[in-house]
Structure 1
């Protein structure tokens, strides 16, 4: 992954991390100064000297900046360890290990959150997939009767388990919902294309009262999905919200099946980061020859 130059975003990144870890006052000052690239080769005493006025402010006469620096740096390193930085048993030079961790692990994450890295549709879907919890509450089931269907072409689905269906099978999707709310159901086919199955012409009524939710819904002209296209894996993600999600791209009744683009997925990921009470589930199954 090609990352923007660290130096271009260093100040904003370090301040964001200081806020994230709850640093303030002298701890904030030491964190920002010690972890700057320009101070990499400076000793703690040299950094303390540059911060002398801030470090001794409000302290008793005779306070030693280097001592304050050492104490604050210990607090910082302990906090970063609690947040996931592994010092591998080392007791010296912890700040150097922490600096590498911040830059190599947290900086790319921060860039993604800030949308400073352009992610592909596949990468955005993968983020959504990783946020979702595996479930058996979403089940594709064979539809035994030969009734009129809408062929989905390249829009197929997959499974982390051994469940699979032959091409040209007719299926329904059964979603077992624990409580009332709003169902957003997305699927990614073997072609890499991503579709919104609910709401859609298959499921024009995404509001539900809990219990079994079957797609296609009974009030549509479609009785099942027909699996066409190529063999492979299909992935399904369900977002279950208490209310209608604040997404301006949600399809309206009568609109054609929506194929999601990068901006749709970015909007959904932003929504989920703000509304953490949403339930996000995933399942997958195979399509065979």
Structure 2
């Protein structure tokens, strides 16, 4: 965790909220906010994120000198970092589960951990972790970036429309602190590669190498409208590129992504 400060809490509403409040109060960033229990966590689009005691809830506050457009690519830095951390924790081997699963890759071979655009991490095809990137403009014109990480270390939420899992479900007994240590170490290396946005090409290359579903059927739900096609790639700005059924190449900037049977369903 070289060069970063740490603020820890027993219980907190949201680590992202705490981080952005600190930025508004003048914190210059480079600080982790970690809690044993988060009781008002949120995911993308304001969705609730369950974070019971034992799971990891952490946010890194960064105030980069780069443009807002480049700062937005920190989500891919976060994804690569979390992929590295979880891959180092989870034993090798593939036991694919879940209707929304898609194989990940590592050095050309199948891998248990895969990155799902834009901000999820899958293990054996089920959601293991999520990332939430939020920005806030500061009085000096710069943007504070709160990068929230949620990892299901001991428990996964139930009743979701997609499969979810935890490290414990996968046979790995690791506490939130050890997961955080692996994540914070991986972040240092990946953030160094990003290099104020100058190295985003290298980061995206690593992200693509671990991506779930490239070359496979995909369905993207955008406010109730569903686009189906083939997940072609992630472009140099981190946007999802889908080859539609009528052979159009469509650029997607936001949406809920589904693979497998869900992507193929026509109802």
TM-score class normalised by the smaller sequence: under 0.3
Higher alpha-carbon Rg: 1
In the superposition, the TM-score normalised over structure 2's length comes to 0.24
Q: Which has more strand, going by share of residues?
A: 2
